[in-house]
Amino acid sequence: MKDSLLLPRICFLFVLFFFIFLNIHKKEVSAADSASSVTLEDRVAADTPWGVRSGATTPTTKPADDVYLTKREHNNDNGPSIKLKVVDGNGRVAEIPIDFHEARIQPRGFWGDVGVNGMALFLASACLLLIKEIFSFISSRRERKLNIAQRQNAAQRRAFITSRLEEADQELQEIEENIQENIQNKEENIKPLRKILQSLDLYREELRDADAPAVLAYLDHILQRTKMLIRKSSSSSSSNNSSKGTFAHADDLDDDDLLQINVSSSSSHAAATAATAAAAATTKAAESTASSTTKQEMINDSISSDSSTTTNQQQQQQQQQQQQQQQEQQQQQQQQQQKLKPDIEMVQMLAQQNPHLTPPEVIRLAQELMQKRGANIKKNKYN
> Which segment of 154-158, 208-212, 264-268 scores lowest on mean pLDDT?
264-268
> What pLDDT sits at residue 269?
41
The CA distance from 117 to 107, in Å, is 15
The CA distance from 276 to 258, in Å, is 26
Pick the most confident of 30-34, 207-211, 217-221, 341-345.
Answer: 217-221
Query: Is it the case that residue 63 has pLDDT exceeding 70?
Result: no
Domain boundary among 101, 120, 149: 101
Mean pLDDT, all residues of the chain: 68
CA distances from 32 to 37, 287, 342 (A): 10, 105, 97
The CA distance from 351 to 359, in Å, is 8
pLDDT in tens, 277-313: 444 555 555 555 545 555 556 655 555 555 556 677 7
Three-state DSSP class for residue 57: coil
> Which segment of 118-132, 156-170, 283-297 scores lowest on mean pLDDT?
283-297
Asked whether residue 346 falls in the same domain as residue 329, the answer is: no
- Asked if residue 301 is part of any domain, the answer here is yes
Output 308 or 218, whichever has higher pLDDT. Answer: 218
Q: Are 131 and 115 in contact (CB under 8 A)?
A: no
Residues 48-59 as b or e (16 or more Cβ within 10 Å = b) = eebbbeeeeebe
The mean pLDDT of 351-370, rounded to a whole number, is 81
Three-state DSSP class for residue 74: strand
Q: Locate all alpha helices (DSSP H) within the chain, ordered by sequence.
A: 2-35, 43-47, 65-68, 110-181, 186-206, 213-248, 255-340, 344-353, 359-382
Kindly report the backbone phi and psi dihedral angles of residue 86, in degrees, each rounded to the nearest multiple of 5, phi listed first: -125, 135
- Asked if residue 371 is part of any domain, the answer here is yes
Asked whether residue 295 falls in the same domain as residue 358, the answer is: no
Asked whether residue 286 falls in the same domain as residue 326, the answer is: yes
The CA distance from 151 to 156, in Å, is 9
DSSP labels, 277-336: HHHHHHHHHHHHHHHHHHHHHHHHHHHHHHHHHHHHHHHHHHHHHHHHHHHHHHHHHHHH
The CA distance from 238 to 68, in Å, is 145
Output 230 or 236, whichever has higher pLDDT. Answer: 230
- Asked if residue 309 is part of any domain, the answer here is yes
Domain boundary among 101, 120, 138: 101
- Asked if residue 316 is part of any domain, the answer here is yes
- Asked if residue 45 is part of any domain, the answer here is yes
Q: Are 304 and 311 in contact (CB under 8 A)?
A: no
Three-state DSSP class for residue 341: coil
Q: Which helix (H) or strand (E) holds 98?
A: strand 93-99
> Which segment of 21-25, 37-41, 72-76, 300-304 scores lowest on mean pLDDT?
37-41
The mean pLDDT of 25-32, rounded to a whole number, is 55
pLDDT-based confidence at residue 143 (cuts at 50, 70, 90): very high
186 CB neighbour count, 10 Å cutoff: 19
Assign 3-class secondary structure to 177-193: HHHHHCCCCHHHHHHHH
- Asked if residue 9 is part of any domain, the answer here is no
The mean pLDDT of 232-256, rounded to a whole number, is 50
Q: What is the pTM of this model?
A: 0.33
Asked whether residue 349 falls in the same domain as residue 368, the answer is: yes
> What pLDDT sits at residue 71?
45
> What pLDDT sits at residue 291?
53
Q: Are 190 and 234 in contact (CB under 8 A)?
A: yes
- Asked if residue 167 is part of any domain, the answer here is no
286 CB neighbour count, 10 Å cutoff: 12
- Asked if residue 383 is part of any domain, the answer here is yes
Asked whether residue 269 falls in the same domain as residue 321, the answer is: yes
The mean pLDDT of 197-201, rounded to a whole number, is 79
pLDDT-based confidence at residue 90 (cuts at 50, 70, 90): confident
List the domain range (segments joined by +) for residue 265. 260-335
Which phi-psi region, left, alpha or beta, contains residue 51 (left: φ > 0; alpha: ψ -120 to 50)? left
> What pLDDT sits at residue 365?
84
The mean pLDDT of 205-225, rounded to a whole number, is 77
CA atoms within 13 Å, Cβ hemisphere of 72: 9
* Tally of domains within the chain: 3
> What pLDDT sits at residue 144?
92
Asked whether residue 280 falls in the same domain as residue 330, the answer is: yes
> What pLDDT sits at residue 303?
55
Asked whether residue 266 falls in the same domain as residue 320, the answer is: yes
Domain boundary among 56, 85, 101: 101
Query: Is it the case that residue 243 has pLDDT exceeding 70?
Result: no
CA atoms within 13 Å, Cβ hemisphere of 17: 5
Sheet containing 71-75, strands listed edge to edge, beginning at the edge strand earlier in sequence: 71-75, 79-87, 93-99
Which phi-psi region, left, alpha or beta, contains residue 10 (left: φ > 0; alpha: ψ -120 to 50)? alpha
Pick the most confident of 78-92, 129-143, 261-275.
Answer: 129-143
84 CB neighbour count, 10 Å cutoff: 16
236 CB neighbour count, 10 Å cutoff: 20
Query: Is it the case that residue 55 has pLDDT exceeding 70?
Result: no
Query: Is it the case that residue 145 has pLDDT exceeding 50?
Result: yes
